Chains A and B, each alone.
Chain A
Amino acid sequence: MLNIVVCIKQVPMVTELPWDEKTGTLRRDLAAGMMNPACKRAVEAALQIKEKQDASITVITMGPPAAEEVLREALAMGADRGILICDRMLKGSDTYATSFVLAEAIKKESTDCDLILCGAYTSDSETAQVGPQLAEELSVPAAAYVENLDISGRMLRVRRLVDHFRETLEMECPALVTISMERYEPRYASFAGLNKSFMERDIAVLDAEVLGLTAASLEARGSRTKVRRVFIRKAQKGNVMITGAAANAVGEFLDKYQRRISAVIGKSIEAKNQT
């Protein structure tokens, strides 16, 4: 049987979270969470493998208690087991620390894991770093931004388009792949499936102690970067404001900037009565 681990993340549903000017922090409490879209495609990729061969799918996430929701959604889609890594000590982890902790959980919970899938990037931070760093932690071969994967025996074949090059790569399992947004349109979790996963399924919760993590090990192998401050980008221009009915606004805009636009597009848009 093929053991597949899919690492997923809960992200805010909106891209712009309200910002508390007083405390200088994000009002994360106001954001409803959802499964990161690329992570969902990684779950779908795992499910498609399972449709073809005997496989077991474990979904893992690290986050606050509420992140359990995305695990339940993955279970409702068809995953077999959900693991939540949750501990206050892990709050604010950068990608270096996150990949370390995920690797510890995978080593503990899925020692015979054959394939690790991640979303290529998340919609909230978009660093795309956790997957590749997790591959380093697990010392497995890896490919990022994968559009399509086939597995035959122990051999994994992936296709991807990177920097205008189309590549087909092969590597032996265990291996790690991050899934892009190009294919693996995720299936819907049925209402009945969701209901069952929320009512009946167990989620294993691992804290730092269970994972054998201490303040010292997290200091040694934890976050390398520190956010010194977060600030709002200063708006740079903000010159001319045009208001009013659309037809009038268009006229005002074109009359004012017709020379500039004409020069750039190489055609005249200057009003006939003005030439």
Chain B
Amino acid sequence: MKKKQKSIWVFGDYRNYYQNRVTLQLISKAVDLARVIAAEVCAVVVGHDIEEWIMEYTAHGADRILAIDHPSLTSYSTEHYLALMERLAGERDPDIILIGATDFGREFAPRLAKRLKTGLSADCVGLDITSEGLLKQIAPSFGGNMLAEIVTEKHRPQMATVRPGTFREIPHNYERTAIVERLPLPVNLPASRVRVVEYERAAQKGHTIENATVIVCGGRGMGNKKNFKKLDELARLLGGDVGATRPVVYAGWAEHDALVGQAGKHIKPKILFSFGISGAIQHTAGLGEADFIVAINKNPQATMMKMADVAIAADASDLLNNLIKELKKRIRD
């Protein structure tokens, strides 16, 4: 009997394609995993006017595209997408489904996992696979500087979400081809119980912290809100943005928008300054691709200091004031 072709699926989350490359990053990781178990990489694209995404996912490494194009799928609908994915996965039985941990993905993936009666790990920072096809999901674990290796032993598909910026996409190659299966919208798709009353793109800042080349991050070691606010001045001098850890956001020193880490933004600056941050995994999970890290902390043993290229053992606020003063003297356009 012919063995079933193994398959690794990536859910096509294209809503913020030009800011958010997570689907391409997942296709790239899926290509790595597929090599080990001789699987094909399949991207699922549902929506309306989706030719561009079909082309992009093909160019970035997908072997097969499952596409459902219909005007009723014009705006994102969690319930419609769930019903479609539940049906497709039920019919075709993929080995693995990877989903980007966007806001949409973080709501969609757990519900899909529940419908498929399988396990799901959130915000994986690493994925590996055994030759038997067991997906080793490395995810931040509660309580600090720890990672957990999570597996779904008995149930299939194996599912994981991954934050944008965790993996690197494969450069595009528009010569590549993929098998594109254009599927009809099922006729008996249940109506969504959630009605979209309004749906509009929110005004965005000119640049987002995800794309900043210099980021000045602060944590509780800054002492108080007033000291924390001085990070703005350093960011301004360096043409960068300010990021914050969760305790600082909860304390109201910074907006939620500035949160860097597992529940916030993943950043990839050329230079990252880290002031008064101990380095809990919930924060460091967001620093995957920082080129050059400068950490300032009173405690030279802090995890953040060990992760840094340059670790300055000093009071964070005191050092910040001195750095601002010195930079003002030195900066010339």
Contacts and interface: CB of A to CB of B under 8 A. Distances in A.
Contact of B310 (A94, A132, A253): A253
A237 B122 contact: no
Contacts of B19: 164
A15 B280 contact: yes
Interface stretch (A66-74, A75-83, A266-274): A266-274
A126 B282 contact: yes
A171 B123 contact: no
A261 B193 CA distance: 53
Interface string A240-256: 11111011011101101
For the side of the interface on B, what is the size category?
A: 35 or more
A83 B309 CA distance: 50
B195 A224 contact: no
Given A133-B111, A254-B330, A224 B197 contact: no
A19 B144 contact: yes
Interface string B136-155: 11001111111111111111
A212 interface: no
Interface in A190-226: 223-226
B37 to A, nearest CB: 19
Interface stretch (B62-70, B181-189, B318-326): B318-326
Interface in A124-153: 124-130, 132-133, 135-137, 141-145
Taking each of A133, A224, A256, A264, which has the highest tally of chain B beta carbons within 10 Å of its own beta carbon? Answer: A224
A171 B149 contact: no
Interface string B113-135: 11101111111000000000000
Contact of A247 (B20, B311, B322, B331): B322
A254 B121 CA distance: 42
B103 A162 contact: yes
B332 interface: yes
A133 B114 contact: yes
Given A246-B314, A246-B319, A253-B310, A169 B330 contact: no
Interface residues of A, number: 87
Contact of B196 (A169, A233, A265): A169
Interface in A142-189: 142-145, 157, 161-172, 181-182
A96 B111 CA distance: 10
B179 interface: no
B50 interface: no
Nearest to B102: A163
29 contacts: A15-B280, A16-B145, A19-B146, A121-B263, A124-B142, A127-B123, A128-B107, A133-B110, A133-B113, A133-B114, A163-B103, A165-B15, A165-B200, A166-B198, A166-B202, A170-B195, A170-B197, A225-B121, A225-B152, A228-B151, A240-B309, A242-B310, A243-B300, A243-B314, A249-B322, A250-B319, A250-B322, A264-B214, A265-B213
Interface of A: 12, 15-17, 19, 26, 37, 94-96, 99, 121, 123-130, 132-133, 135-137, 141-145, 157, 161-172, 181-182, 223-233, 235-244, 246-247, 249-251, 253-254, 256-258, 260-261, 264-272
Given A227-B148, A264-B214, 11 more contacts: A26-B142, A123-B250, A136-B111, A162-B102, A226-B151, A228-B136, A231-B146, A231-B147, A232-B146, A243-B312, A271-B330
